[in-house]
Chains A and B, each alone.
Chain A
């Protein structure tokens, strides 16, 4: 080629800007900048905040629901007017045997007791020694408790009358010897694992959508051209995943802390140590799983052209998550089955299946290591290949981008 002759030559080959304050642009600095922007953008986005609160409330609500179901010991209230000494104690004792929590109130006369029943202050009132007043019908268990109490007291009275020491009626206390001492803890671990998996699934879907949406937005608004002129695609990808990951993890921590605290406070969980260990374990799986799923969502988002049609491209991702959830539930019922074992090694599925297996079944240490290694390897592969697809697809202008074309359009650096 020939350079044009006589172009205006300037002596200075450097511009006169002050560069002393410039930052060394390491990859971690750039990734940090991208992550920071993601976090700040989401925290000022009303849509994100509202949906986050919604998710937290939803999950808290389901925990409270669990609490109500689990705290099955129903309570009853009984009124009495007269009757033998110790009558109220006897009713309480009998009710307790039957799994009822009875509260006994004494009333001055029958009409006061009747009023209390009518106003539904109490479930039933015992008058005249052996008549029971109820609004509609007497609860079977409560009825049994009351008649048990009356019979017991009457029997004791008769024995005393006959000169027999009623203490012979003291029941023999049974000594319970559990053949599976840890069954209780395992059940609770299973419950915690299941709730955690549900939580994981919800958060992955939720944040996956946000990641994909963010990617589509950058592509649709063409800001990607300006970004990729200064930043490597994998740095952008990593920054997005980390930024949203921090938000997701924070949300997960809030939910876990509140959920676990609530569950322990309401006695849904009686072995907090095991439950906390399970939650910590789930958090660990979450970090791995989130990274992988988020990267996959980001790459899928990059294949979309317009804001309108991400759902079609995201559908496979959503299906993978649903499959993982179903497999995790199945694994909960049969943690040592072949299906559970195999799927607990498959990256993406393992995020949800493995924690359930660990909580409910017996898992060898090498199995966990293998799963983690497979997961890490997949993450590296997805971020690498994903970075190429990402840049190729993001810079493409047309409609849906095919993965092959995106890979072929790899850029210089």
Chain B
């Protein structure tokens, strides 16, 4: 278990993290969401020892994360950084060795990763000669080269084209299947929704929601019932005394119930007014959950 426990951090008078706690289980992909400046990067940098928490700690397997543990963490910082003039394979090998691998293992892992990313031919080129997308791939490879026990990736998907996103997602899934906990931050909530087992939403330095996407949906307060009766207007719904109509367009009505138990009554009323082509509780997207929780 990778545990973030009661992290608190302020820069001057500016409180950045206010009692941030959450847990990433082995083999779990944890999506870390939040607006710009919500404190995601600070949280991750504290885990890597690059910033100091005023209070709280980060633990891995019940032990506070120290340098020894950090060597087993693969890290991709938000501001990408590698040696611009150093040949790609040499840098990966170097990072592998700095994380405790022997020369042969680091060399092998570096070439395997580069080949897997389609960069085998470019492995002797200096990093700066590569396209930005390929540099991003190498950056990920630098985080993965030591086969880390934990992955902490800050905005790993930003700047990737759809192919790159799929390749990275597949790579992370492979690591997850080996029992590696993966924590990554992202603005792309659709991606988080698609990839993650669990999600944490950070707002104003606090975790405002945390859990699986399903759990977050259930917790969602304003659940909507979606009823489609092609060709009809929404008058049938507005005439019901126990619902509130959120929207009514082209026969599609979104409504909320004062008492969710009366959904079957709504169905009967709908069928009475015309042929119902769709009836069901609407699944809020993570974007909507995010808006909801952050606004709350």
Q: Give the interface of A toward B (CB within 8 A).
A: 1, 3-10, 12-17, 21-23, 25, 30, 33, 37, 40-41, 45, 217-218, 221-232, 395, 397, 410-413
* Contact call A225/B79, Cβ cutoff below 8 A: yes
> How many Å lie between the Cα of A217 and that of B81 in the bound state?
10
User: At the interface, yes or no: B238 with Cβ under 8 Å from chain A?
Assistant: no
* Contact call A6/B212, Cβ cutoff below 8 A: yes
Say which size band chain B's interface belongs to: 35 or more
Min CB distance B61 to A, Å, is: 6
- Please judge, given known A-B contacts A10-B25, A21-B105, A25-B100, whether A222 and B80 are in contact too, CB under 8 Å: yes
* Contact call A8/B81, Cβ cutoff below 8 A: no
User: At the interface, yes or no: B28 with Cβ under 8 Å from chain A?
Assistant: yes
Taking chain A's interface residues, is the majority helix, strand, or loop, or is none over half, making it mixed? loop
Enumerate chain A residues within 8 angstroms of B21, measured Cβ to Cβ: 1, 3
Enumerate chain A residues within 8 angstroms of B220, measured Cβ to Cβ: none
> How many Å lie between the Cα of A25 and that of B97 in the bound state?
9
What would 30 A/B residue contacts be, using CB atoms closer than 8 Å? A3-B22, A4-B198, A4-B211, A4-B212, A4-B215, A8-B212, A9-B25, A10-B25, A10-B28, A12-B27, A15-B149, A15-B179, A17-B149, A21-B104, A23-B101, A23-B102, A41-B86, A222-B80, A223-B81, A225-B48, A225-B50, A225-B75, A225-B81, A226-B77, A226-B81, A229-B48, A229-B73, A230-B95, A395-B51, A412-B46
- Told that A17-B147, A411-B52, A412-B52 touch, could you supply 8 new A-B pairs with CB distance under 8 A? A9-B25, A10-B26, A217-B83, A222-B80, A225-B50, A225-B79, A226-B81, A229-B70
* Contact call B101/A411, Cβ cutoff below 8 A: no
Against A, the Cβ 8 Å flags (1 = close, 0 = not) of B85-103 are: 1100010001101111110
> Residue among B19, B68, B81 with the most chain A CB within 10 A?
B81
User: At the interface, yes or no: B66 with Cβ under 8 Å from chain A?
Assistant: yes
* Contact call A13/B77, Cβ cutoff below 8 A: no
> How many Å lie between the Cα of A7 and that of B53 in the bound state?
26
Min CB distance A98 to B, Å, is: 62
* Contact call B25/A226, Cβ cutoff below 8 A: no
User: B67: which of A3, A41, A232, A395 is its contact (CB, 8 Å)?
Assistant: A232
Against A, the Cβ 8 Å flags (1 = close, 0 = not) of B181-205 are: 0000000000000000110000000
> How many Å lie between the Cα of A284 and that of B61 in the bound state?
49
Closest to B176 in A: A10
Enumerate chain B residues within 8 angstroms of A37, measured Cβ to Cβ: 94
> How many Å lie between the Cα of A229 and that of B142 in the bound state?
12
> How many Å lie between the Cα of A232 and that of B99 in the bound state?
12
User: A226: which of B66, B82, B105, B178 is its contact (CB, 8 Å)?
Assistant: B82
User: At the interface, yes or no: B231 with Cβ under 8 Å from chain A?
Assistant: no
> How many Å lie between the Cα of A191 and that of B70 in the bound state?
54
Enumerate chain A residues within 8 angstroms of B104, measured Cβ to Cβ: 21
Closest to B11 in A: A409
Min CB distance B107 to A, Å, is: 11
- Please judge, given known A-B contacts A4-B211, A7-B198, whether A23 and B23 are in contact too, CB under 8 Å: no
- Please judge, given known A-B contacts A232-B67, A395-B50, whether A5 and B211 are in contact too, CB under 8 Å: yes
> How many Å lie between the Cα of A39 and that of B45 in the bound state?
30
> Residue among A10, A41, A229, A232 with the most chain B CB within 10 A?
A229
> How many Å lie between the Cα of A223 and that of B135 in the bound state?
13
Against A, the Cβ 8 Å flags (1 = close, 0 = not) of B155-183 are: 00000000000000000000100111000
User: At the interface, yes or no: B260 with Cβ under 8 Å from chain A?
Assistant: no
